[in-house]
Amino acid sequence: MQRLYKYISSQVPFLVIGTLLCTIIDSLFYIFVENKFDRGFLVIGANFMMTLGMVFILMLLSVFKADKIVRYVFMFIISAYVCLLAFCWAKFGNTIDKGMIALINGTNPQEMSEFFSVYVTVPSILLMLFAVFVVFNAFMFLIRVMHSAGKKQMIAVGLFFVFGCCCLGFSFYTIPGRIEAIFRTQKKNLSEYLHHPVMKPTREDHPDVVMLVIGESHVRSHSSLYGYEKNTSPRLARLRDNGNLICFSQAVSPATHTAESFKYFMTTCRSAEDEKPWYECLTIPEAVQCAGFNTVWISNQAYSGWHDNISASFADLCQTMMYAKEKGSEELIAFPDEVLFPFVAKYMNKNVTRDTRHCVFINLMGQHQAYDKRYPRQWEKFKPSDYSAKPENQREEYARYDNACLYNDYVVDSLFSTLRNRNAVAVYFPDHGQDFYVSAPDYCSHSNDSNPVSYEAGIQIPLCIYMSDEYRATHADVERKLKEMSCKPFNTTDMLSLVLYLTGYSTK
């Protein structure tokens, strides 16, 4: 015990300075940005316990005379961690929060490489290395200063220890806590939570095909269907003018990140505060199967994510799965969404007949960053010079994003065209929107949920319902009801109810 006390006493400077460095960015953010004073102080205790754990590791390694080398490794890790938190705050308006972790969890290698190509440039790498070098040297300097401070440091240690012991539950705000969150699986085997609902027909006539086209990162304000100045939706506009398309004017997504959105629009779960977790709730694939529909999942996103991919939980419930990107090296290839056309045509020609019903889920890459990788080069209609009224730093991204929207219009229209001569109905909506230079003149990416302006921008989405001529002829009451609904607020957490309404079924 005396040896333990003596060793910890010798490591007090490392313990105190390490705790403060790991805590300072998070604490400043929560206190001055989010006004969450309790969390700002509680993360101190969590990081103290983490750093104390490092001290215990060093003590064990001191037997092998390896503690000095490992202490430098710990100091480097802490220095890099501080700089990473500062980078995230400066670039994305937030430290590494749970929304960012969810984004990483649902990201595949291709998307990760595209992210690095946008945000991790050579200058940023050099700046990060310089920052780590400065923090590391400041770490060593402060340790030397504390070593000369004498026994007064023991009072600070006692206060930190008591405070830290009261805060063991706030481990997310430490280095291992955040790493554990990244590798905590969100993918679930939903077949273990089936409900077997009894479906009740609400109409005599039911469509042969229901199609859900799930886009990606499409913000409503960049669609000419909703008054955007650039003509980014000419094909869907023609469908609307012909009466085959109904556009919802006030649709929003339940979250600003893919993983969180899928949990809610694919199930009856409304939010994280619901009594049941999302994976225990009724899903769209199970509901439509119980209504007599065959299900197929056709996706241009990878089956596996950086760690896992929550959409695959729902794909596994379908009777057929078709992926343009299989697990492996192909995940690093950026396929345009038209790569799905042969998969859709093959399924429709082989399986869809007048005596069968089908629910087709199509998961697009949509307008996911990097925007210029979302469309073939021949779709470069918009140029940076077309945005002379915008700040110069925004013009290229405006052109890229609008070109991606224009290409997405072609893709969605082409998918709808496969239903033209059938008794069919389809819904197009993206998982979420984007903060496209709304919250700040230099920020264009997934929304920062801690910023109300950014969050609001990230949930504004287009939502369109396509009806074939045959479906319209036999569902005049549905068309009338949809037109009434289209002018009212709609959250895609109600997607299961909407899909069942379109199919002519409800749960008892």
Average pLDDT over residues 132-148: 88
Q: What is the pLDDT of residue 96?
A: 83
Average pLDDT over residues 395-414: 98
Residues belonging to the chain: 508
Average pLDDT over residues 257-284: 92
Strands 424-430 and 463-467: antiparallel
Question: Which residue, 363, 306, 305, is CA-closest to 335?
Answer: 363
Sign of CA dihedral 339, 345, 347, 350: negative
| Cα of 276 vs its chain's centroid, Å | 21
Question: Which residue, 108, 260, 266, is CA-closest to 193?
Answer: 266
Look at residue 213 and tell me whether its pLDDT is greater than 60.
yes
At residue 329's C-alpha, the angle toward residues 326 and 333, to 5°, is: 85
Task: Spell out the residues 6+ positions from residue 95 whose beta carbon is closer than 8 angstroms to its own.
Answer: 25, 26, 29, 85, 88, 89
- Three-state SS across 51-71? HHHHHHHHHHHHCCCCHHHHH
d(CA 87, CA 116) in angstroms, rounded, equals 13
Look at residue 160 and tell me whether its pLDDT is greater than 80.
no
Q: How far lies 432's CA from each of 180, 214, 260, 493, in Å?
A: 26, 10, 10, 12
Extended beta strands in 351-417, E state:
358-363
Burial 90-120 (b: 16+ CB within 10 A, else e): eebbbbbbebbbbbbbbbbbbbebbbeeeee
Look at residue 1 and tell me whether its pLDDT is greater than 70.
no
d(CA 394, CA 225) in angstroms, rounded, equals 23
Task: Determine if residue 490 is left, alpha or beta; phi over 0 gives left, psi from -120 to 50 gives alpha, anything else beta.
Answer: beta
Q: What is the pLDDT of residue 4?
A: 61
Mean pLDDT over all residues of the chain?
A: 88
Average pLDDT over residues 371-383: 95
Q: What is the pLDDT of residue 197?
A: 94
- Side-chain-side CA neighbours of 415 within 13 Å: the count stands at 31
Give the pLDDT confidence of 234-266 residue by residue, as tens digits: 999 999 999 999 999 999 999 998 989 999 999
- Side-chain-side CA neighbours of 431 within 13 Å: the count stands at 26
Question: Which residue, 469, 481, 468, 434, is CA-closest to 454?
Answer: 434
C-beta of residue 423 within 8 angstroms of C-beta of residue 203 = no
Extended beta strands in 159-227, E state:
199-201, 209-215
Domains of the chain, with CATH numbers? 2-182 (no CATH), 211-278+291-306+344-507 (3.40.720.10)
Torsion angle of alpha carbons 464, 465, 469, 475, nearest 10°?
Answer: -150
Give the pLDDT confidence of 294-307 residue by residue, as tens digits: 999 999 987 765 54
Look at residue 177 and tell me whether its pLDDT is greater than 80.
no
Q: What is the pLDDT of residue 329?
A: 42
- Which run of H or E residues covers position 321? strand 320-323
d(CA 469, CA 421) in angstroms, rounded, equals 8
Look at residue 3 and tell me whether its pLDDT is greater than 70.
no
Band of pLDDT at residue 449, cut at 50, 70 and 90? confident
- Residue, of 96 and 138, whose pLDDT is higher: 138
